[in-house]
Amino acid sequence: MKLTNAIALYPVVALGVVYTPIKCIDWILTVPRHSAFSESVRVLFVAVLSAIILVLCFGPSYFLRPKVEPYQLKNKTPFSQVWISEDENAAHISLVLVYPYGERANPYELGLAHYVEHLAWHNVRSESGNQGRHSNAWTSATSTGYLMSVDVDALSNGIERLMATAQPLQISPEDAVQERDIVVSEYDFRVSENPFQDMRDEMVNELYGASGYARSEIGTRESIASFTFEGAQQLHRSSHKLSQAKLLISGPVDRNLVQDILEQLPQQPDLEPSIDLTVAHPTMVPSADIKSITIVGAAERQLIVRSVVSVPESVNPLMLEALINATNQMMLSTKHSGLTKSLRFDEFWARTIRFTLFQSGPSVLEIFTSAVPDSKVGLSALKAEFEKTMANARTNATQTDFESIKSRLLNKVDSDIHVLQTNEKRLRFALSTGGTYSSLSSYRKALKSMTFGIYTDFQTHLDTAPRTSTRMILPSN
């Protein structure tokens, strides 16, 4: 029910809440009490009256309460999952179709998954009809996605056009070559002018070895030049299957409309044959690589340390999210167990500090830290102090500091006034990374249940990071 319709019913509901009990009570008082039948009728009527009053009093609040969470359709559809996020205030409908394969699953040349995304998007552009208000696509390490914004009356057409990404590639060989040149231009824009790119690739290879985690989404100039249309077709057939894709529809829509549209969609079987797209996960073999390098274009001296560690088996995804956020907040705070207090404000070892803990895969956590030394501090001295401070931060956390950080995170959740949009962002992140969607309220429960003991056990686990890559950067001038 639309919000405006529910508001329009309020005068009727208010009249019913007042008038109905009065008339019913009046009737009960006038019914003769001399028979068992009349007494039974009176009891039954009181029960019915109570139910009516409950509906009249609390029914409007059900319809008027804001929708705060996307929901998943359970009916059979051409897709693996269909999610709906109803937002009556949105001007247009947003469609997002996500395939669960990105560059990590690509067994061919580096960056070919990105090239396949470009070619599959030509299927969408070649479809006739409403072209949509806005459209885009992406390729990440873990997924390939296509998104489109359409008017309400173009919803069916928009879904069919996104489904075209799973049809055989329709681009001509000549246009495929031209599209490859566009990918080269994109590479030049994103990578070739980045003075840190070679260092980044080297560190990633040291951390993740020959696994899919080390693959670059954009590829290299050499790998892009070796792309063939036949190779792209082979990868497309295996990575773009509607039976594995997930569709998110958000905006001014309702469940019945979407279900009717999905039931009328033409059947589209998956392409065959398929190749194995299983992602090779990194092995946690102990390794420590430390290098001092000179980078042309670097503005200042810098220490960069990247480490990987396995996800603790005993920690569920929601609790892991809470622990990651608490760790990031703690490490960058001025608390006793934070890095900033010791390295920036107490001893002036570093002018700037960055710390980011994140989940880079289902079973892997990565820690990225960097620091710019103070003017009179050498990089080697900063590295030694940094390692000591990091160890102290993980072992010397106090209950008081933990409760303060936990309270700060809870307040951030409780002060969120755009819960529907936040939950939709959480859903999009889960779809694009292959994770499981959980609502903001579920995350809050996990955050609330996180204890100091759980936090300290997690810090102990992080301290066992077996693979580390370190760079001490010197400017060229």
Distance CA 157, CA 134 (A): 14
Query: What number is the average pLDDT over the span 1-16?
Result: 49
* Domain co-membership, 14 together with 87: no
In single-letter form, the type of residue at position 169 comes to L
pLDDT of residue 420: 93
Percent of residues in the chain assigned helix, strand, coil, to nearest 5 = 50, 15, 30
Look at the alpha carbons of 43, 48, 54, 56 in this order and tell me if their dihedral is positive or negative: negative
* Domain co-membership, 340 together with 462: yes
* Domain co-membership, 354 together with 398: yes
Tell me whether residue 111 is in a domain.
yes
Q: Indicate the SS3 state at residue 260.
A: helix
* Domain co-membership, 301 together with 238: no
Total domains present in the chain: 3
Q: Indicate the SS3 state at residue 292.
A: strand
Buried b (16+ CB within 10 A) or exposed e, 311-347: bbeebebbbbbbbbbbbbbbbebebebbbbbbbbeee
Tell me whether residue 140 is in a domain.
yes
Instruction: Please state the φ and ψ torsions of residue 356, each to the nearest 5 degrees.
Output: -140, 120
Alpha carbons within 13 angstroms on the beta-carbon side of residue 390 total 23
Q: Please, which pLDDT band fits residue 61 given cuts at 50, 70 and 90? A: very low
Point out the domain boundary residue: 263, 298, 326.
Answer: 263
* Domain co-membership, 422 together with 369: yes
pLDDT of residue 194: 87
* Domain co-membership, 143 together with 175: yes
Q: What is the CATH number of the domain that holds 175?
A: 3.30.830.10
Least Cα distance to 114 among 135, 142, 140, 148 occurs for: 140
Tell me whether residue 197 is in a domain.
yes
Tell me whether residue 271 is in a domain.
no
Q: What is the pLDDT of residues 446-477, one digit of tens each?
A: 999 999 999 999 999 998 877 899 999 998 76
Q: Please, which pLDDT band fits residue 371 given cuts at 50, 70 and 90? A: very high
* Domain co-membership, 230 together with 253: yes
Q: What is the pLDDT of residues 208-259, one digit of tens each?
A: 988 899 999 999 999 999 999 999 999 999 999 999 999 999 999 988 889 9
The boundaries of the domain holding residue 185 are 71-263
Tell me whether residue 268 is in a domain.
no
* Domain co-membership, 203 together with 307: no
Query: What number is the average pLDDT over the span 55-61?
Result: 54
* Domain co-membership, 293 together with 427: yes
Tell me whether residue 282 is in a domain.
no
Q: Both ends of the chain: CA-CA distance in Å?
A: 67
Q: Indicate the SS3 state at residue 323.
A: helix
Point out the domain boundary residue: 231, 263, 295.
Answer: 263
* Domain co-membership, 25 together with 100: no
Output DSSP code: residue 226: T
Tell me whether residue 279 is in a domain.
no
* Domain co-membership, 213 together with 333: no
Distance CA 231, CA 37 (A): 83
* Domain co-membership, 126 together with 143: yes
pLDDT, greater one: 296 or 99: 99
Bond preceding residue 273 cis, omega within 30 of 0: yes
Point out the domain boundary residue: 263, 279, 295.
Answer: 263
Distance CA 351, CA 379 (A): 12
Q: What is the pLDDT of residues 310-363, one digit of tens each?
A: 999 989 999 999 999 999 999 998 877 778 776 776 678 888 899 999 999 999
Task: Return mean pLDDT, the chain.
Answer: 85
pLDDT of residue 11: 53
Query: What number is the average pLDDT over the span 146-155?
Result: 93
Tell me whether residue 272 is in a domain.
no
In contact, 228 and 65? CB cutoff 8 Å: no
